[in-house]
Chains A and B, each alone.
Chain A
Amino acid sequence: MWSVVPLRLLSEKLMTIPVLQTQAVSKRFGPVEALVDVSLAIYPGRVHTLLGENGAGKSTLMKILAGVHAPTTGSVLMDGREVVFANPEHARNSGIAIIYQELSLSKNLTVAQNIFANHEPRRWGMIDDRALLADAQRLLDSLHIAIDAATPVAHLSMAQCQLVEIAKALSHAARVVIMDEPTSSLSDSEAQTLFGIIDTLKARDCAVIYVSHRMDEIMRISDDISVMRDGRYITTVNRQDTTIGALIALMVGREMRAVYPPRPPMAATSDGRVALRVDNLSRPGKFTDVSFELRAGEILGFFGLIGAGRSEVMKAVFGTLGYTGKLEINGEAVRIRHPLDAIARGIAFVTENRKEEGLSLQHSVERNINSVNLRRMANRLGVVKPARERAAAKRWVQRTGIKTAGLEELAGHLSGGNQQKIVFSKWLEIEPRILILDEPTRGVDVGAKYEIYKIIRELAAAGTAIIFVSSELPEVLAMSDRLIVMREQRIVHQFDTTGLTQEAVMSYAAGVQHHVH
């Protein structure tokens, strides 16, 4: 049954004891340090926002609190006592509810069946359908969610699903509710409903851990705001004592280290010829009215928060996502329907997810490098020349500095950085005139990052037109000649990167530019 532990009477005494706390929590995934020494306290009846760039460690921290991951070192305390969550079930039974960005509803069942999935009210050992429906409706009503509990989930909108997801999480007695970007798919009025729910939870002395990139809503609903950066806890501030500008500075505040190769002046590499012109590109629900020009020898950065629509635009240009609007390559109008069309016109696309879209992990380094340019490795009858293949693979392994035991080594055995270099190699082998890079350094260690940056610079210097999509602001600032910021599926601004600050870019990406200027 749904109930929130009535702590009201004890609350004054308990206010001083955090309901949930991490002590020196660190988490490693193989060689990657996702969290380093994070100590954080969550108090009942307060909304605690976690703020940080993509990859700052917020998601990992949330997953540790929800029992998905166990910390490598450090401990989690509940009511001041150490707890070790064996699994998400355990955390939930201890009163921690988490609402993920991805929805976990079964479309074939009703709202009520989803809300009480796996803990349905029973009578004589059988599911009591009437109680199920009544309890679910009561829960929805108490949260002011205007949805009929008998509706099949398949009939709901994305936003309604999100609200049902929240109700589902709260169907367990929750003392801490974790929300991961809950408003990302909500309209303004639906977001208002959510804020109402949050107020209700606070009144019940529930703690809310809130993650969002939208600065204005963070300022509206938060009590405490903790900033994270590079897997480390930076500080916690009280909402009344801070400003959006100050928070953004804390969030991006890392010093720019010498991790980027020097930038030649733009004029030296570009002859100003437009390699790609994109005119009013749209796809409903993905991106709207996207127009830009890309010049030969130029690195054009694309920045935006996750879900801004950057990757989708690139997929449309490469022919894996349908679009309306016009594309021009070297002044010639083209229609691109399949990657074959794009490749034939000299476009290469280093995709965001190398394991899903970039590599066949069970095949060798050599096979992967030669996967795009197979035709050129073969004679007219389609018979592959092994010597040609081997030579090409060898050349690229040396050129991009892939560290491998041999060309026959399976791609899946290599580190992230080396895998990414294979993806680069397979595309560079076709000598592209337009190179689209989507998060080319994600999951790549610092050393390999530098080598990848160097390759990108060299290509631009040789006249390749490059689009550089990244969620890492310092990187995209340091690498791009010009920078386009996307927010909510539109281009909101184009910058010349000379003298541009991270704060200015972030304010456009988060949609609060008027607060900063």
Chain B
Amino acid sequence: MSTNTVTSTIDTTEPSKPFWRRGWFKQYGGMLCGLAGLVVLFAVLSGSFLSVNNLTNVVLQVSIIAITAFGMTYVLLLGEIDLSVGSMIALVGTVAALAMSHGFSVWSVIPLAMLIAILLGMANGVLSATLGIPSFIVTVATMGIFRGLAYIVSDGTPISIADEPFLAIGNGDWLSIPIPIWILLGLLVINHFVLSKTVFGRQVYLTGGNREAAVYSGINVTMLKIKVFMVIGVMAGISGLILASRLYSAQPNSAMGYELDAIAAAVLGGTSLSGGYGTVLGTIIGALIIGVINNGMNLLSVPYFYQLIVKGLVILVAVYLDVQHKKHRG
């Protein structure tokens, strides 16, 4: 560290570090290299991997997890966790499908679904922030409650969807790029902006970095926590609509385990589970890494049981490398 020897109060010229230890590259370089390595590996092993069609497919498959993981990034940044998102996705989808089967139009169903999603997230936030129950416990409980509600409203069976505009959400194209990818990109930009450029985003980082200091700095951490859970509610709601649309039906048993995939994507993307460190740019890279591994192994016809093991190992290795990296960051 050079701070001890600096004599002027601010040294505005960047210390002469090599480019890979500076700024953007320092933060994302490792993950991008990992992603590129995987792409090269699968490109060599499988002829069809690098086709435009397949790459579009990878992003399309990743979009629902990545959008959920954007919401998870907020929650993890605050040092909290939300295990109920999988159930939330299923519940929002079934409610939307039910409403359409009763003749509501897609234009009234989308706002309704989003409102429900916000309320579900708010319920998590309020329970945790005002009653002082750890978010882990609250969301384990609501994970069961939301899933139960999804089974109840759908009577335990898939509800098929025939509404054309709604089906376009998950299956349509625009400029020959699937709509979910556009939604993904739009949310990436919005969330990155919110986290890095707004007061709300700053408060999330500061509170995750040191909750006590945030309280003393005049941040209302109770409200902030509720808002953050509302954000993940919104993201889960959008994921729920896309998933229902892609499946042509709402299934109460869908999106099982998505909460863990979302956490894995965020953590692979460098988000700290203890809060204060992480970005949605990192999260989307993390989600893409998972997507590429899934896709590549499918192309290579690796049996599903082995895929689970490989995915688990990749997460362990990536997080271990990140932990080492952070140790040396000082």
Interface presence of A330 (CB below 8 A): no
The CA-CA distance from A27 to B198 in the complex, in Å, is: 46
A179-223 CB contact bits vs B (8 Å, 1 = yes)?
Answer: 000000000000000000000000000000000000000000000
**Contacts A358-B213, A371-B217: A413 and B198 contacting too (C-beta < 8 A)?**
no
Q: Is there a chain A Cβ closer than 8 Å to B33's Cβ?
A: no
Segment of A238-246, A301-309, A397-405 in the binding face: A397-405
Nearest Cβ distance between residue B301 and chain A, in whole angstroms? 44
Smallest distance from the beta carbon of A276 to chain B beta carbons, Å? Answer: 18
Instruction: Determine which of A342, A357, A363, A401 lies in contact with B276 in the assembled complex, contact meaning CB atoms within 8 Å.
Output: A363
Q: Is B216 an interface residue (CB 8 A)?
A: yes
Q: How far does the Cβ of B8 sit from chain A's closest Cβ, in whole Å? A: 9
CA distance A250 to B277 in the complex (A): 50
Chain B residues with Cβ below 8 Å from A410 are 330
Q: Given A320-B215, A378-B198, A362–B209 Cβ distance below 8 Å? A: yes
Give the docked Cα–Cα distance between A375 and B218 (Å): 11
Task: Please tell me if the beta carbons of A398 and B216 are within 8 angstroms of each other in the complex.
Answer: no
Contact assessment for B198 and A320 in the assembled complex, using a CB-CB cutoff below 8 Å: no
State the CA gap A318–B198 with chains docked (Å): 26
| Contact string against A for B residues 179-195, beta-carbon threshold 8 Å, 1 for contact and 0 otherwise | 00000000000000000
Report the minimum CB–CB distance from B198 to chain A (whole Å). Answer: 5
Q: Min CB distance, B40 to chain A, in Å?
A: 33
Q: Which residues of B contact A259 (CB under 8 A)?
A: none
**Most chain A beta-carbon contacts within 10 A, residue among B14, B206, B210, B276:** B210
Closest to B1 in A: A413
Query: B215 to chain A: which residues have CB within 8 Å?
Result: 320, 339, 357
- A362 pairs with B202, CB closer than 8 A: no
Contact A403 B216 (CB under 8 A): no
CB distance from B279 to the nearest CB of A (A): 13
A504 interfacial by beta-carbon distance below 8 Å: no
Smallest Cβ distance from A395 to chain B, in angstroms? Answer: 11
B216 A384 Cβ-Cβ under 8 A: no
Across the interface, do A405 and B199 meet the contact criterion of CB distance under 8 Å?
A: no
Q: How far is the CB of A408 from chain B (nearest CB, A)?
A: 9
> Does residue B15 face the partner (Cβ distance < 8 Å to A)?
yes
A320 to B212 Cα, complex, angstroms: 10
Contact B216 A320 (CB under 8 A): yes
The CA of A383 and the CA of B198, in the complex, are separated in Å by 4
Complex-state Cα separation, A381 to B201, whole angstroms: 13
Question: Would you call B202 and A384 a contact (CB within 8 A)?
Answer: yes
Chain B positions 199 through 243: 1 when the CB is less than 8 Å from some CB of chain A, otherwise 0 = 110110110011011111110100000000000000000000000
**A360-B210, A382-B198 as given contacts; A339 in contact with B12, CB under 8 Å:** no
- Please determine whether A403 and B6 come into contact, CB atoms closer than 8 angstroms: yes
Beta-carbon contact of B205 and A413 below 8 Å: no
| B contact residues around A360 at 8 Å (CB) | 205-206, 209-210, 213-214, 276
Q: Does B9 contact A (CB under 8 A)?
A: yes
CA distance A409 to B15 in the complex (A): 11
The distance in angstroms between the C-alpha atoms of A384 and B199, with both chains bound, is 6
Given A371-B206, A384-B198, A356 contacting B9 (CB threshold 8 A)? no
Residue with the highest number of chain B CB atoms closer than 10 Å, among A361, A383, A397: A383
Query: Within residues 152 to 204 of chain B, which ones have a CB less than 8 A from any CB in chain A?
Result: 197-200, 202-203
Q: Given A383-B197, A414-B3, verify A358-B216 contact (CB < 8 Å).
A: yes
Chain A 358-382 residues near chain B, CB threshold 8 A: 358-363, 367, 370-372, 374-375, 377-378, 381-382
Asked whether any CB of chain B lies closer than 8 Å to the CB of A283, the reply is no
Closest to B220 in A: A340
Interface residue? A412 (CB, 8 A)? yes
In chain A, what residue has the closest Cβ to B275? A362
Interface size on B, residues (CB 8 A): 32
Determine if B10 is an interface residue (Cβ-Cβ < 8 Å): yes
Please report which residues of chain A, range 162-194, place their CB below 8 angstroms from some CB of chain B when the two chains form the complex: none
- Please give the distance in Å from B124's CB to the nearest CB on chain A: 23
- The winner among B12, B198, B202, B276 for most chain A CB atoms within 10 A is B202
Let me know if A351 is at the binding interface, CB within 8 A: yes
- Is A367's CB under 8 angstroms from B3's CB? no
In the complex, whether B324 has a CB less than 8 A from a CB of chain A is: no
Question: For residue B1, which residues in chain A have a CB less than 8 angstroms away from its CB?
Answer: 405, 413
Known: A382-B199, A401-B9, A405-B2. A357 touches B206 (CB 8 A): no
- Contact: A367 with B202, CB < 8 Å? yes
The reply to whether B6 and A405 form a contact with Cβ atoms under 8 Å apart is: yes
Is A349 an interface residue, CB under 8 A from the partner?
A: yes
| Least CB distance, B12 to chain A, in whole angstroms | 7
Nearest residue in A to B196 (C-beta to C-beta)? A384
The complex places the Cα of A360 from the Cα of B210 at a distance, in Å, of 5
Known: A375-B199, A398-B10. A349 touches B213 (CB 8 A): no
**Which residue of the partner chain, among B198, B203, B216, contacts A351 with CB atoms under 8 Å?**
B216
**Given A372-B217, A372-B218, A378-B199, also A363-B9 (CB < 8 A):** no
Other-chain contact of A371, B10, B197, B213, B276 (Cβ < 8 Å): B213
If A339-B215, A371-B213 touch, does A409 touch B198 (CB 8 Å cutoff)?
no
B305 to chain A, nearest CB (A): 39
Convert A322-346 into 0s and 1s, putting 1 for each residue whose CB lies closer than 8 angstroms to a CB of B. Answer: 0000000000000000111011000
In the bound complex, do residue B330 and residue A407 qualify as a contact, i.e. CB atoms below 8 Å apart?
no
User: A340–B218 contact, CB under 8 A?
Assistant: yes
Whether B198 lies near A363 (C-beta < 8 A) is no
Q: Evaluate contact between A406 and B12: CB separation under 8 angstroms.
A: yes
Choose one: A362, A374, A398, A404; the contact of B203 (CB below 8 Å).
Answer: A374
Q: CB-CB < 8 A to A406: which residues of B?
A: 10-12, 14-15
Interface contact B199-A357, CB-CB below 8 Å: no
Contact A367 B218 (CB under 8 A): no
Q: Are A339 and B218 in contact (CB under 8 A)?
A: yes
Residue-wise, chain A 51-77 has the 8 Å CB interface mask toward B (1 for contact) of: 000000000000000000000000000
Our pick among B9, B197, B205, B217 for the contact of A403 (Cβ within 8 Å) is B9
Point out the residues of chain A lying under 8 angstroms from B276, CB to CB: 360, 362-363
Determine if A426 is an interface residue (Cβ-Cβ < 8 Å).
yes
- Tell me, yes or no, whether A277 is within 8 Å of chain B by CB: no
Given the interface pairs A403-B3, A404-B10, the reply to whether A357 lies near B330 with Cβ below 8 Å is no
Known: A397-B10, A414-B3. 8 other contacts (CB 8 A): A342-B218, A363-B209, A367-B206, A371-B217, A381-B198, A404-B3, A404-B9, A405-B3
A-B contact pairs, 24 of them (CB 8 A): A339-B215, A339-B218, A340-B218, A340-B220, A356-B212, A358-B216, A360-B205, A360-B213, A362-B209, A362-B276, A363-B205, A374-B203, A375-B199, A378-B198, A381-B198, A382-B199, A382-B200, A384-B202, A394-B10, A398-B9, A403-B9, A404-B3, A406-B10, A414-B3
| A-B residue pairs, 6 tightest by C-beta | A360-B209, A343-B218, A360-B210, A382-B199, A339-B218, A357-B212
